[in-house]
Amino acid sequence: MSAVPISFYLVLSAILFGLGVVAFVFKRNIITIFMSIELMLNAVNLAFVAFARARGELDGLVFVFFVIVVAAAEAAVGLAIVIMLAQNRQSLNVERVNLLKL
Amino acid sequence: MSIPIILFLVCALVAVAGAVVLILAREPIHSALALVVVMMALAVLYLLLGAPFIAAVQIIVYAGAIMVLFVFVIMLLNAGVEERTDFSKLAKFAGVPLGFFLLLEIAHWLAHSPIGAAIANGAGSSAGESSTTELSEMLFRQYLFPFEATSILILIAILGALVLARKEE
């Protein structure tokens, strides 16, 4: 069905994960930082599906399902925290959230 | 080049371009839409890998539910143009090249490892339509307990979100 080598998918997964890390480090808006976490989760999901395909087993797909469920829960709680933070600080900039910073 | 490889390259380019736009965009809403593009491209790749159920879940849950939540919060908080701060010289001149080097190293390792040499074609018997049936059987037999545990996780997440977003009296 597919003649694309698995390594292509893994390289794409690594590139997307790297871009997610770059976004996580460079962005200053807390919502965008959350989105870069989602990007990294997506990259890992792609690697899971590719490995499941390479091994001919479906356990990887079950893991992807659970990752998506946990990502949904994480987004719900995380965005609630973002709303609370925005109400308290009137800003979405993570530089302003420095209460625990030395 | 065969059609799957062309399809893969197009989707990979779209996904990487979307991720780059996510980084470069100054408004959060543009980043969110770029992330939707990445997720759509990944859904096509899941179809290409013979996982139609995961592709559907990717579009419905990720690109649908989670990203709508993100866009909703962006609209609710009226998030405007992101403030930029100056980065340290060390980050600019050492961090960025080292990050690219790490990326290249990972890509090189993956391309030359024995796993990378495995071709998707002949490895598995999980092809197309039957994979969803097998996946559901696996999910409701072997992974039944984790599956039920996720429902409690979602419930706790809803409660947590309610408690966090509630107005203080």
pLDDT in tens, B130-139: 678 888 888 8
Contact A61, A52 (CB under 8 A): yes
Under 8 Å CB pairs connecting chains A and B tally to 244
Pairwise CA distance, residues B107 & B91, whole Å = 22
Residues of B (66-95) whose Cβ lies below 8 Å from A: 66, 69-70, 73-74, 76-77, 79, 82-85, 87, 95
The tokens of B47 are what? Answer: 């179809």
Pairwise CA distance, residues B159 & B154, whole Å = 9
* Most confident stretch, A24-28, A61-65, A95-99, B108-112: A61-65
Residue A97, amino acid = V
Q: What is the pLDDT of residues B144-160, one digit of tens each?
A: 999 999 999 999 999 99
Pairwise CA distance, residues B95 & A22, whole Å = 10
Chain B hits for A2, CB-CB cut-off 8 Å, are: 4, 48-50, 120-121
Chain A hits for B119, CB-CB cut-off 8 Å, are: 3, 5-6
Q: What is the ipTM of this complex?
A: 0.90
- What whole-number percentage of chain B has pLDDT above 70? 82
Q: Bridge-partner residues for A5, per DSSP?
A: B119
Hey, are the CB atoms on A31 and B74 less than 8 Å from each other?
Answer: yes
pLDDT at position B126: 46
Question: Within an 8 Å CB–CB cutoff, is residue B55 touching chain A?
Answer: no
Instruction: Provide the pLDDT confidence category of residue B122 given band limits of 50, 70 and 90.
Output: very low
The tokens of B99 are what? Answer: 């990050």
Nearest residue to A36 (alpha-carbon basis) of B93, B23, B134 = B23
Which part of chain B has CATH 1.20.120.1200?
Answer: 1-81
pLDDT at position B115: 59
Q: What is the rounded average pLDDT of the residues A87-92? A: 81
Q: Residue A5 phi/psi, 5° resolution?
A: -60, 145
Question: Within an 8 Å CB–CB cutoff, is residue A96 touching chain B?
Answer: no
Map residue A10 onto helix, strand or coil: helix
CATH of domain B1-81: 1.20.120.1200
pLDDT at position B169: 64
| B86 DSSP 8-state letter | P
* Most confident stretch, A56-65, B8-17, B69-78, B126-135: B8-17
Hey, are the CB atoms on A92 and B79 less than 8 Å from each other?
Answer: yes
pLDDT at position B34: 94
Instruction: Provide the pLDDT confidence category of residue B165 given band limits of 50, 70 and 90.
Output: confident
pLDDT at position B109: 78
Chain B hits for A50, CB-CB cut-off 8 Å, are: 49, 120
pLDDT at position B125: 44
Nearest residue to B158 (alpha-carbon basis) of B68, B69, B58 = B69
Question: Within an 8 Å CB–CB cutoff, is residue A89 touching chain B?
Answer: no
The tokens of B144 are what? Answer: 């039944």
Q: What is the pLDDT of residues B16-52, one digit of tens each?
A: 999 999 988 888 999 999 999 999 999 999 999 888 8
Pairwise CA distance, residues A78 & B140, whole Å = 29
The tokens of B116 are what? Answer: 């990378």
For the ranges A85-89, B19-23, B69-73, B109-113, which has the lowest average pLDDT? Answer: B109-113
Contacts 24+ apart (CB under 8 A), A20-23: A20/B19, A21/B99, A22/B23, A22/B99, A23/B19, A23/B22, A23/B23
Full set of structural domains in chain A with CATH: 28-90 (1.10.287.3510)
